[in-house]
Amino acid sequence: MKKFLALVMAAAMLLSLVSVSASAEDYTIRIYSNSNSTERVNWLVAAAKEAGFSISLDDNSVISGDTAAIQAANENKDGDILFGLNETRWGQVVDGTYENLSLVDWTPAWAEEVGNYAYTGKAYGLVVQNVLMLYRNDELGTNGEALHFQHWADIVNCGYKWYRQGKVGGTTNANINSAMLYAFTDPTSPAGGVSIDGWKTLWAYCAGGNFTGDSYGFDPLNRGDVQVSTFYSSSLYGMIDSAAESSSTPLVGAPEPENWNLVEIDDGTYYIAEYLGILEREGRTEAQTEIVKAFAEWFGSAETQAAWADEFDSFPCNQVAAAAAYETTPGIYTLKNFALNTVEGTDMTYAAYVAAHSAEWTNIMTNLGFYWKDMSAPNAEPDWDNLDWATLTQAAQ
């Protein structure tokens, strides 16, 4: 259970004003992020202003998903801060994949508080995130039957109606796909390092699943449209707390008897961490860079991250913040993490393997037409035995 932090954070933010020069308000810090729901943007703008900073951050009506965020930052070349994303994107930024994005050498005062969630000297962890598979266990779900899979992809044989997302792109969608494909890694496969059976299974997930027009899988499960669904860990408990506002047969949480559960999956789940880094920016003065660094210090600090966690049900990378925000670690963050498992036949973790193949996977799904939105007009299943994978792994021309 989370602790109440409002009074503590109000005091902390007032104290931060003492340490930030008034000149900070004269420079507007340009931020790019995919962690940019309207609620998050409004909260951060207000909290930053109270702490003495002026920031500019587009919400997800303008920039939606990690691909859009990183492309906008690269194309516009006006960014000061990059935060959110995941190891896949951050590995690319650190390695110089994007021609206009490079990071300031930077080590925050709280660097040791985030443990291994760090690209040392470059970017540091903010939030631990994973994807979850949920099911209803009431009369609108499994009627008390417990669901236990070996792999995420076993959903296609579960015997229940499931929700699937309606587009290829987006951080959560990509993480769900990474979870689905985990059991099918094959470094020798020309199909993006995934066996053909893996792509067949993912197609079955699309063909047999239900897309209900919702952005994510919580709402159709909450309404009882499906029995099994997927969602992201951040905000889950908050969504359950307010579930009755959007359903006459809502999901309920403790202390009432819960009518939902996590599917027990032997593999575990796919974790990522969201990070914070300072971008090089042409024309920014040294004094302005110091303002940006001060903001990054403030935003990633234990105090601010504990408040962020309290507001948005996220779980901080910062161990001090986690201890302040949670009396005990929520069960959804105690699941096995297969993102750190080594892929057989390589010396890469699965997270690194995903990073190496993510562009190919996106191209395959886009070129073959996965995740159609019109459920009444499904796309034709590919002729799996006669596909040109060398072309399919390339972006559509």
At 270, is the secondary structure helix, strand, or coil? Answer: coil
Taking each continuous run of H as one helix and of E as one strand, the counts in the chain are 13, 11
- φ/ψ region of 345 (left if φ > 0, alpha if ψ in -120 to 50, else beta) reads left
Tokens of 280: 């090089």
Angle formed at CA 124 by CA 121 and CA 125, multiple of 5 degrees: 160
Instruction: Output the pLDDT for position 92.
Output: 87
Minimal CA–CA distance to 169: which of 20, 307, 365?
365
**Confidence (pTM):** 0.80
254: left (phi over 0), alpha (psi -120 to 50) or beta: beta
Distance CA 83, CA 31 (A): 8
Judge if the upstream peptide bond of residue 255 is cis by omega within 30 degrees of 0.
yes
CB 339 within 8 A of CB 351: yes
Place of tokens 């099994």: 228
Sign of the alpha-carbon dihedral angle for 197, 271, 312, 37 = negative
Instruction: Quickly count: other Cβ atoms within 10 Å of residue 252's Cβ.
Output: 16
Looking at residue 344, its amino acid is E
Dihedral through CA 376, CA 377, CA 378, CA 383, nearest 10?
150
- Could you read off the pLDDT tens digit of each residue along the chain, which spans 397 residues? 344 444 344 444 444 444 455 467 789 999 999 999 999 999 999 999 999 999 999 999 999 888 899 999 999 999 999 999 988 789 889 989 999 999 999 999 999 999 989 999 999 999 998 999 999 999 999 999 999 999 999 999 999 999 999 999 888 899 999 999 999 999 999 999 999 999 999 999 999 999 999 989 999 999 999 999 999 998 898 899 999 999 999 999 987 889 999 999 999 999 989 999 999 999 999 999 999 999 999 999 999 999 999 998 899 999 999 999 999 998 899 999 999 899 999 999 998 899 899 999 999 999 999 999 999 999 999 999 999 999 999 998 6
Tokens read off for 195: 């066996």
The predicted structure's pLDDT at residue 234: 83
